[in-house]
Amino acid sequence: MKVTLPYGHKKVSFEIPDKNFIGMMDPEFTPAIENLERAIENAIDNPIGTKPLSEIVKLGKKIAVIIDDDSRPTPQSVILPILLPKLEAAGAKPEDIRIVAALGSHRYMTEDELRRRVGDAVYDRYEVINSEFKKPEGLVYVGKTPEGVDIMATKAVMETDIHIGVGCLLPHPVMGWGGGGKILFPGIAGEDTVSYFHLKASLYDEPLFGCDCTPVREMMEGWVDSIGLDFIINVVLNSKFEIADVVSGHYIKAQREGVQRGKRVIGYHVTEKADVMITSSHPADQDFWQSPKAMFAAEPALKGKKGGTLVLVSPNYEGMGPHPGYAECMGSDNGDDMVNAAIRGEKFLMDSLSIAVGNGMAKLRKRRRLITVGDGVSPEEMKTAGSEHGYIRDLQKIIDTLIKENPDCRIGAVSNGAETLLYI
């Protein structure tokens, strides 16, 4: 059987013997909404769990529209031209509206990237900026978590009166699903706040990808009101990254409804578990900080709670990602000790996010055999991280070797691993 998977902007093909191949574990295609503008307008005008925007937006109030960055496939340039006129119709002036790209711990977007993200017309009419993460002058203290950790947030958001989050609903390794309040945490939070959030999350040693709600999401949602999130618009995308559904309203109630709708669009019912899962990182192809989401997504289709092999196919265009020390932390066997020490305030050579995310990956590494295939990371980096490595030219050889090791192995494959929900 010839199998073709996305490899970033390209495709890669390989052969699996019919007797070994379970099949593609891709969701049945859901077409895009036919009248997109009307559907988005209808969702905005009929929010779930909160007042409509026409009653939230007031003349003279300043508004932050918080959008996700390029690591997410949300078609912001489609949504914003529908949302922003509604804000102006409700009394907002263009100069009172600020669009903030929620970076979390990701690198700053360039001016060209921001322009492409929102579209020329929006970029030329409104202020469009990055959130802040590191610079103290760009952050402001907004309170403490229930655990006593300082919450620092982007000053440019906190200077506004009304906060609107725009993003997409995708499964997430520790949140269960994205969307909702995640646009704030870690979206626009400061480094120490984001680090604490990830450190706590990394202590859970269980698959959380695609769960309706997780302890980590509940923790995050307990912090949201310290910043304030007045309204969300969350879309569900099909495999062509077209909008298949949309919800708006309260950051918890609307998000939960969106998750149920999202399952119908990107969910695949696994009827036979595999010994080997081959998963493309698409569309989370940017770096090895993002691409392993596809490993977490594919894990539920493997036999047992331990064992089995995850083969990640990813270009990782920007290498290991923005956090030095990440590979070392992923390859460490004492990650929980490091995490607890970091929570206590002890200092390490690498940043806390490297420790946290690396520890979560280390848990996956201990549960499953990991093989990373692609040209964006090196064999040395993967050896440090505890993953096997192969260049994309060697993908067929890797698969042949796995079958030689276990001639009766059963193999499944996923095309858009970072945004597919496999469920039993």
User: Do 346 and 408 meet the contact criterion of CB atoms below 8 Å apart?
Assistant: no
Q: What confidence score (pLDDT) does residue 197 get?
A: 83
The second-level CATH assignment, the architecture, of 2-25+270-423 is: Alpha-Beta Complex (3.90)
DSSP string, 115-133: HHHH-HHHHHHSEEEE--S
Phi/psi at 83 (nearest 5 deg)?
-70, -50
Q: pLDDT tens, 318-351?
A: 999 988 999 999 999 999 999 999 988 888 888 8
CATH number of 36-265: 3.40.50.11440
Q: pLDDT tens, 100-147?
A: 999 988 889 999 999 999 999 999 999 999 999 989 999 999 988 776
Phi/psi at 271 (nearest 5 deg)?
-105, -20
Give the angle subtended at the CA of 313 by the CAs of 113 and 414, to the nearest 5°: 100
3-state secondary structure 361-392: HHHHHHHCEEEEECCCCCHHHHHHHCCEEECH
Distance CA 43, CA 247 (A): 6
Distance CA 75, CA 83 (A): 13
For the chain, domain boundaries: 2-25+270-423, 36-265
Please list the rounded mean pLDDT of every run of 10 residues in the chain (424 residues). 97 98 96 95 96 92 96 94 96 96 91 97 98 93 82 95 97 92 94 86 88 90 91 95 96 98 96 98 95 96 96 98 94 94 87 92 97 98 98 98 98 95 92
Distance CA 316, CA 314 (A): 6
Fold matches, 2-25+270-423 and 36-265: no
Q: What confidence score (pLDDT) does residue 351 get?
A: 87
Q: What confidence score (pLDDT) does residue 174 get?
A: 86
**Residues, the chain, total?**
424
For residue 309, what are its two tokens? 């092999």
Q: Is 357 helix (H, G, I), strand (E, B) or coil?
A: helix
